[in-house]
């Protein structure tokens, strides 16, 4: 497990040696999860065409179209709890934001919100009780798989306009329609990445802001600070750790590695490297030199980073506009989750 910024970047940029075929910190239960999650689990040469197809979904002009809808979602959620004076930000705010934005892309009924949030939370086995964790994981995987099997079959007979699944099914590589396995795997990849990583980073930053009124004041006094502040909050609360598999016996920075060994790339650790960032454990909202790895590095750098930035920014700005003063109800009651995505999982705030 490398922890230094330069080592993590170097490994991420060597896909020939360090394969992405198994990226999970805790691998899915055998026989239940999808074998691949393209393009995240793909190596060259397949990775290139897979990423090119998905990239067009997150082009800047496409991303801009989500700002108003995301703002509307945030305001609607706040309307539902602001009069009560308290909110559990994960359940009441951050998870619904992440789901509803992705639901728009996938044309998923809003009534399935609770099911999807439960499925994605349990997909990597980190949620639920220790006793039932493996069973919960299998049930979540099956629920998500069955949903997309049904949806893909429906699109064959009833293609839709402006629908992500239909777009993927109509995509071509080398003059032929892409394999259905790619469509299925890409749907699961985009949904999980679009929900889990986003809600966790928004929740973690709200946890931070609840304890730092001076940072809230700094953002109110200097709205032009938002671009650098957003990058700093992403640096400090970057949620992702991804695994790689060593393809052949090698030695890296004096460390012998054998074919089949697993390597964990903790991008959040890289973001705290004192050789790369001055005072790395401090949140400095006007930090100028900030080449963080919140969205990864190399060929697998997050393709949806533009949408992720937009969601985090809009969620924080809307909250601070509507609820400028707030604090934790009980700091000791805040809980965190780990695995591939680390973040606050329960945080009660009063205002």
What is the separation, in whole angstroms, between the first and last Cα of the chain? 41
Contact 51/299 with Cβ under 8 angstroms? yes
Q: What is the mean pLDDT of residues 81-99?
A: 97
Number of folded domains in the chain? 1
Give the C-alpha separation, 217 to 236, whole Å. Answer: 19
The whole domain housing 234 covers 5-350
Q: Is 307 within 8 Å of 101 (Cβ atoms)?
A: yes
pLDDT digits (tens, 9 = 90+) for 199-221: 999 999 999 999 999 999 999 99
Which domain CATH number covers 325? 1.10.630.10
Instruction: Tell me the backbone φ, ψ of residue 303, rounded to 5 degrees.
Output: -70, -20
Query: CA 221, CA 169: separation in Å to the nearest integer?
Result: 48
Q: What φ, ψ does residue 265 adopt, rounded to 5°?
A: -105, 100
Whether the CB-CB separation of 15 and 23 falls below 8 Å is answered with: no
Q: Token pair 């590589």 is at which residue? A: 173
pLDDT tens-digit readout, 266-286: 999 999 999 999 999 999 999
27-36 pLDDT tens trace: 665 655 555 7
pLDDT digits 0-9 by tens, 125-175: 555 444 566 788 788 888 998 999 999 999 999 888 888 999 999 999 999
For the whole model, what pTM was predicted?
A: 0.94
Q: How far apart are CA 143 and CA 152, in angstroms?
A: 14
| Residue closest to 125 by CA, chosen among 203, 29, 32, 189 | 29
């Amino acid at each position: 497990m490398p922890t230094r910024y330069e080592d993590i970047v170097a490994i991420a940029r060597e896909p020939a040696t360090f394969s992405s075929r198994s990226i999970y910190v805790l691998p899915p239960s055998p026989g239940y999860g999808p074998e691949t999650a393209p393009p995240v689990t793909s190596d060259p040469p397949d990775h290139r065409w897979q990423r090119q197809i998905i990239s067009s979904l997150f082009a800047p002009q496409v991303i801009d179209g989500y700002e108003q809808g995301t703002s509307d979602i945030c305001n609607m959620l706040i309307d539902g709890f602001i009069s009560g004076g308290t909110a559990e930000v994960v359940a009441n705010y951050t998870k619904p934001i992440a789901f509803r934005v992705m639901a728009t892309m996938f044309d998923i009924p809003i009534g399935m919100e609770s099911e999807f949030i439960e499925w994605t939370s349990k997909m990597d086995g980190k949620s639920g009780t220790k006793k039932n964790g493996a069973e919960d994981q299998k049930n979540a995987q099956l629920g998500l798989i069955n949903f997309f099997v049904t949806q893909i079959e429906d699109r064959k007979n009833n293609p839709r306009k402006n629908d992500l699944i239909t777009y993927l099914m109509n995509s071509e590589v080398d003059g032929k329609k892409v394999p259905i396995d790619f469509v299925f795997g890409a749907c699961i990849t985009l949904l999980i990445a679009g929900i889990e990583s986003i809600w966790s980073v928004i929740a973690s930053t709200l946890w931070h802001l609840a304890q730092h009124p001076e940072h809230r004041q700094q953002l109110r006094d200097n709205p032009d600070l938002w671009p650098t502040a957003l990058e700093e909050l992403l640096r400090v609360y970057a949620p992702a750790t991804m695994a790689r598999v060593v393809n052949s016996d090698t030695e890296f920075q004096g460390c012998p590695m054998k074919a089949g060994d697993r390597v964990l790339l903790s991008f959040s650790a890289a973001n705290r490297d004192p050789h790369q960032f001055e005072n790395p454990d401090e949140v400095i909202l006007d930090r100028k030199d900030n080449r963080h790895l919140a969205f990864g590095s190399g060929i697998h750098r997050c393709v949806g980073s533009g949408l992720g930035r937009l969601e985090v920014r809009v969620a924080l700005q809307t909250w601070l506009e509507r609820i400028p003063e707030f604090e934790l109800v009980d700091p000791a009651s805040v809980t965190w989750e780990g695995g591939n995505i680390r973040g606050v999982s329960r945080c009660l705030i009063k205002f």
